[in-house]
Amino acid sequence: MDFLELAKKRYSERYFDQRPIEQEKLDKILEAGRIVPTACNYQPQHFYIIRSEDGLRKLKTVTHFHYNVPLMILVCYDLRTVWRNPSDRYYQDYNSGEQDASIAATTMMYEAEELGVHTIWIRGFDSKTVADVYGLPDYIIPVMMLGLGYPNDKTKANPWHYKRNPIGDFVTEL
C-alpha cells in the first residue's frame, strides 16, 4: 500500500476486541521500532509489553485511556543513552529521548496498520506514576503508550480524525 494511503487510512482505535495479537505480527511491529533512525544512532528507545492479566490490571490504575486493549506497548527511553545538546540556548541540556521514542512509536503504529492491527496513541498519564507502578528503573522515562488490537464491531474513526487544516496553515518557506 502507498504510504500516504496507509497514513490516511489509519485512525486511533477506541473499540478493541480481546483477540490476542499474533506473536509474528508483534515481532514485526517491534522490529519497526528497533530499526528507526535515532539521534547519532544511540537508540535510547525501550519498549515494555503489557499483556498479562496483572499488567493490564495495573494499566487501568495509571490511565483512564486504556480502551480495554489486549496489548499495550509502553514506549520509553533510556536516559543513559540519549544524545544531548548542551549548546542549545532554547532547550538547555536538550536530549533526544522523547524524539527518538516518538519516532519509534510512530513507525510501529504504521507497521501495525499495515498488518491489520489497529492502534491508539496514549499520553494521558503521569510518567512517574507509570514508572512506579511498573517498577521501572530511574533512568527509564515513559513517553507514551501504544495500544494494539483488533477492532470490535463498534469500530469507527472519531469525526475529528477527518478534520485537516490546509497545508498553508503550517508550512512557511524561509
Which of 129, 156, 158 has its CA nearest to residue 145?
129
Per DSSP, what are the bridge partners of residue 61? none
Work out how many domains the chain is built from and give that number. Answer: 1
Domain for residue 146, yes or no?
no
Structural domain for 80, as ranges: 24-128
The answer to whether position 88 is within a domain reads: yes
CATH number of the domain at 36, please: 3.40.109.10
Q: Is residue 2 part of a domain?
A: no
**Which pLDDT value is given to residue 173?**
93
Q: How many CB atoms lie within 10 A of CB 138?
A: 7
Residue 137 counted as domain residue: no
Tens of pLDDT along the chain (174 residues)?
Answer: 799 999 999 999 999 999 999 999 999 999 999 999 999 999 999 999 999 999 999 999 999 999 999 999 999 999 999 999 888 889 888 999 999 999 999 999 999 999 999 999 999 999 999 999 999 999 999 999 999 999 999 998 988 888 999 999 999 999
- Is residue 144 domain-resident? no
- Sheet holding 140-149: strands in order across? 45-50, 71-78, 140-149, 118-122
In a domain, 17, yes or no: no
Rounded distance between C-alpha atoms, residue 147 and residue 68, angstroms: 9
Confidence (pTM) = 0.94
Structural domain contains residue 93: yes
